[in-house]
């Protein structure tokens, strides 16, 4: 919270609002945070928590913790070193990173900054399928371990702050990805369907995560179409205002999916106890977005690392205080009905 305040002070109003804002009246934006806070925990006591192990796996990759960094756009808007700085910070903290299609830095440079740290690539399917394929191919070549198909953005949400601010991207950001060939990165295809999951999976041979799912039936359809994981998300409250908070949507999706795929969640995650709550509700990974953006804006790579490390420390403490020495000990009975 302090971090957001500091970011607000140093960023241009339009940039701050672009990141902070949500769609419409920002009902979902607020609900995302409030829904986590409403969840009451029933910690266990008198368990041996002298060693707490945050390790987990996702899509077959061993991870140091269940905390991931959600894809966000245009990092050079927030910091001159852009995605290189954020990636380096995430890698320093050892968190799973998801690189955005809307990176303002070529994916190869981001991958270099990430080093050995595992990372995934977020995909917008564009009207220009050739350009889409080229972008994804470069990410795969650069080392992405999974593809995250954003499913909730057939059109851009109604961001009233941006309308009021008459917001446009700062000059000289562009999108280096698109330099190789003509095409419009912002021109997403509104005709993307479940079939594109199979296309992505078979074309690139990587597991596909479908991000933006809020319903059990959509989760099932995604899995039937080849998805390896479902990411419960409402795009940080930036797409359909009034959409259910992700913490409220998560349990039904988990129920629908059962053991057929992994389930992740993002949206309104601010503290380690929110990560604990997400895991207790059945998420395998819990992603944060805005806190990383504020850290990037205020303190670059180093503060990104510190922020993620703090979140990790909070989670470790939360597990100890909940009587859970391992991530797998966090079960649904930790949540009060």
User: Known catalytic residues?
Assistant: 235
Q: State the Cα–Cα distance between residues 174 and 176, nearest whole angstrom.
A: 6
Backbone angles phi, psi at 331, to 5 degrees: -115, 170
Instruction: Write the DSSP symbol of residue 58.
Output: E
Alpha-carbon dihedral 304, 309, 311, 316, rounded to 10 degrees: 170
> How is residue 59 written in tokens?
């899509």
Shorter beta-carbon distance to a second copy: residue 180 or 313: 313
Q: How far apart are CA 208 and CA 282, in angstroms?
A: 19
Concatenating the DSSP letter of every residue in 207-230 gives: -EEEEEE-SHHHHHHHHHTT-SEE
Instruction: Please give the Cα distance from 289 to 129 (Å, whole number).
Output: 27
Residue with smaller CB distance to a second copy, 141 or 193: 193
Residue 215 near a second copy by CB under 8 A: yes
Tokens linked to 85 = 């700085």
Q: Which of residues 250-309 bind a second copy (CB under 8 A)?
A: 271, 273, 276-277
128 sits near a second copy (criterion: CB under 8 A): no
What does the alpha-carbon distance between residue 149 and residue 197 come to, in Å, rounded to a whole number? Answer: 8
Q: Does 82 bind a second copy (CB under 8 A)?
A: no
**Residue whose CB is less far from a second copy, 48 or 166:** 48
Q: How many residues bind a second copy (CB under 8 A)?
A: 61
167: contact with a second copy by CB under 8 A:
no
Piece of 14-22, 48-56, 165-173, 283-291 that binds a second copy (CB under 8 A):
48-56
Nearer to a second copy, 48 or 62 (CB): 48
175 vs 239 by CB, closer to a second copy: 239
Site for a second copy in 14-33 (CB under 8 A): 24-25, 27, 31
Q: Which range binds a second copy by CB under 8 A, 72-80, 131-139, 184-192, 291-299?
A: 184-192
Beta bridge partners of residue 69, listed in sequence order: 97, 288
Q: Does 222 bind a second copy (CB under 8 A)?
A: yes
Q: Where are the alpha helices (DSSP H) in 76-128?
A: 82-93, 107-114
Q: Given the rule CB under 8 A, which of 93-101, 105-113, 154-162, 257-265 is the region that contacts a second copy?
A: 154-162
Phi and psi at 232, nearest 5°, equal -70, 120
Residue 240 as a binder of a second copy (CB under 8 A): the answer is yes
Among 142, 144, 103, 150, residue whose Cα is nearest residue 125: 150
Told to check if 47 binds a second copy by CB under 8 A, we report yes
In angstroms, the CA 268 to CA 85 distance is 23
Where does this chain bind a second copy (CB under 8 A)? 24-25, 27, 31, 37, 39-50, 151-152, 154-155, 157-158, 189-194, 196-197, 210, 212-215, 218, 221-222, 234, 239-245, 248-249, 271, 273, 276-277, 314, 317-318, 320-323, 336
């Amino acid at each position: 919270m302090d971090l957001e305040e500091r970011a607000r002070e140093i960023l241009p109003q339009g940039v701050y609002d672009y990141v902070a804002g949500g769609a419409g009246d920002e009902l979902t934006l607020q609900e995302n945070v409030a829904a986590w806070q409403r969840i009451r925990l029933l910690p266990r006591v008198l368990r041996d928590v002298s060693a707490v192990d945050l390790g987990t796996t996702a899509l077959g990759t061993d991870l140091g913790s269940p905390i991931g960094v959600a894809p966000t756009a245009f990092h050079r808007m927030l910091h001159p070193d852009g995605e290189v700085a954020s990636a380096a910070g995430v890698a320093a903290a050892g968190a799973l990173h998801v690189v955005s299609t809307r990176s303002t830095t070529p994916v190869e440079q981001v991958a270099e900054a990430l080093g050995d740290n595992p990372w995934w690539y977020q995909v917008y399917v564009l009207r220009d399928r050739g350009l889409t394929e080229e972008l994804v191919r470069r990410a795969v070549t650069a080392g992405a371990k999974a593809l995250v198909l954003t499913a909730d953005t057939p059109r851009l949400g109604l961001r009233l702050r941006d309308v009021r601010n008459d917001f446009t991207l700062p000059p000289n950001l562009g999108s280096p990805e698109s330099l190789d060939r003509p095409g419009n990165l912002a021109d997403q295809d509104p005709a993307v369907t479940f079939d594109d999951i199979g296309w992505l999976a078979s074309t690139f041979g990587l597991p596909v995560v479908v991000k933006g799912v809020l319903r059990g039936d959509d989760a099932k359809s995604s899995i039937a179409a080849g998805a390896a994981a479902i990411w419960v998300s409402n795009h940080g409250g930036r797409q359909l205002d009034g959409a259910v908070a992700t913490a409220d949507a998560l349990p039904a999706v988990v129920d629908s999916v059962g053991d057929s795929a992994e389930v992740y969640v993002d949206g309104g995650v601010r503290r380690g106890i929110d990560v604990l709550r997400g895991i207790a509700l059945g998420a395998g990974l819990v992603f944060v977005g805005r806190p990383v953006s504020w850290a990037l804006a205020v303190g670059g790579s180093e503060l990104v690392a510190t922020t993620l490390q703090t979140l990790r420390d909070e989670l470790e403490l939360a597990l100890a205080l909940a009587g859970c020495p391992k991530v797998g000990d966090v079960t649904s009975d930790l949540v009060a009905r």
